[in-house]
Amino acid sequence: MTQLHYDVVIIGAGAAGMVCAIQAGYRGLNVLLLDHAPKPGAKIRISGGGKCNFTNRRVEPKHFICANPHFVKSALARYQPEAFIEWVERHNIAYEERDNGQLFTLEGAGQIVAMLRTELDWAGVELQLNCDVVAVIKQHETWSISTSQGQLTSAKLVVATGGLSYPKLRASDFGMKLAKQYGLEVIPSRPGLVPLQMPARQRAWWSDLSGLSLEVAVTAQRGPRFEGAMLITHQGLSGPCILQVSNYWQPGEPISLNLLPDVKNVAEWLLDLKQNAQSLSGALKQHWPKRLVQAWQTKFEFDDHLANYTQLRLDQLGTSLTAWSIYPDDTAGYAKAEVSLGGVSTDEVSSKTFETHKVSGLYFIGEVLDVTGHLGGFNFQWAWASAHACAQDL
């Protein structure tokens, strides 16, 4: 550290911490951004399959999960995707739009980190890596911070230490512990955007089908319907559609799978097959991988000739195709989760400034808060937007 006192210290040089530091630096503040990891932006580097889904053109509050659904509105309205896109374009980073407004870099997530590092330099931010925070105490109106690199003070403290997913990238519960130290409510954390595991007694069936992918629609007991690809794994289910629904799934509850989302009226479709004496397997093969057709028909004991089916049996068939209730018994845990749900309660912070109501000069931004986005670039948009709002108040 080059100084002993800063206007602002930001703990966590991830997505939110870097953007907050840049914007505070451009406002003329003397900013220290510190991180215990050897490099900044570790999750950005591996995000979006290495291409970083850095935002989404269709951001709306309904894409976020938070105990108070109104909390996200102000920050999202004040920092829209176009603002980040403009930055990306200014740095000549090529990108593409995929389904549903998702924006990805073309040449790799490292470019987003490089862009943010350049901006940190331009904004005059001091970056201190490999820096462990040992203790944080507020004395009078000043924050006193003990670190493995020395002792320092600051007028304001921003916590941007993220969530608990991917512990191998040095994720930590630092922010939640600090919140508790100051008597702030923390909503218990759990893995989100994560594969779901099936009970051990059913695994052999799924495992035999591992590697297969198909288009489904899926819903949890609470929450929206998601459509997209589902991937069958040795342990259970994964793929974008399952990651989405995992944010809403609770242990002990089922998820409902529609295995024919493209067929508008399955009852009519089945009746049609019956009347035309078409085989069930032949029709299913037009929608599913062959291996799944065989395994599924054996599991549910539906034979191929619909001519003998009563209406009741036809209805049962329709239900197992479009509303198959399956009971995962766990998630694949933080090691495989893209985000964590829960975190510092949003009741504790201002939705305009992100300063805590109880402790002046203390701010929480990004994923450490109880705000989790759907898959599709929404989590980064939250990191950028909350960082932007906070930086205007520092």
Site residues, ligand FDA (CB under 6 A): 11-17, 35-37, 42-43, 46-48, 52-53, 133, 160-162, 165-166, 170, 172, 174, 338-339, 366-368, 377-380, 383
Closest distance between ligand FDA and the C-beta of residue 288, in Å? 28
48 versus 328: smaller Cβ distance to ligand FDA: 48
Closest distance between ligand FDA and the C-beta of residue 252, in Å? 26
Contact 242, 337 (CB under 8 A): no
Kindly report each contact of residues 111-118 with a partner whose C-beta sits within 8 Å and lies 24 or more positions away, as own/partner. Answer: 111/52, 112/41, 112/44, 112/52, 112/54, 112/88, 113/40, 113/41, 113/44, 113/45, 115/87, 115/88, 115/91, 116/18, 116/19, 116/22, 116/40, 116/41, 116/44, 117/18, 117/40, 118/91
39 versus 91: smaller Cβ distance to ligand FDA: 39
- Comparing every residue's Cβ against ligand FDA, the nearest one is 14
206 versus 380: smaller Cβ distance to ligand FDA: 380
Closest distance between ligand FDA and the C-beta of residue 337, in Å? 7
Closest distance between ligand FDA and the C-beta of residue 149, in Å? 11
Give the position of tokens 């035309």: 276
Contact 72, 61 (CB under 8 A): yes
14 versus 236: smaller Cβ distance to ligand FDA: 14
Closest distance between ligand FDA and the C-beta of residue 55, in Å? 7
52 versus 218: smaller Cβ distance to ligand FDA: 52
- The whole-angstrom separation of Cα 174 and Cα 164 is 10
SS3 133: strand
Structure tokens at 392: 């205007």
Kindly give, in sequence order, each residue whose CB lies less than 8 Å from that of residue 290, ignoring residues fewer than 6 positions away: none
Strand pairing partners for 239? none
Closest distance between ligand FDA and the C-beta of residue 338, in Å? 4
52 versus 332: smaller Cβ distance to ligand FDA: 52
Closest distance between ligand FDA and the C-beta of residue 43, in Å? 4
Closest distance between ligand FDA and the C-beta of residue 387, in Å? 8
Contact 205, 299 (CB under 8 A): yes
176 versus 284: smaller Cβ distance to ligand FDA: 176
| Closest to 189 measured CA to CA, from 207, 200, 174 | 174
Structure tokens at 30: 């003397």
CA angle, 388 as apex, 384 and 393 as ends, to 5°?
A: 155
| Closest to 34 measured CA to CA, from 54, 57, 9 | 9
Kindly give, in sequence order, each residue whose CB lies less than 8 Å from that of residue 310, ignoring residues fewer than 6 positions away: none
296 versus 378: smaller Cβ distance to ligand FDA: 378
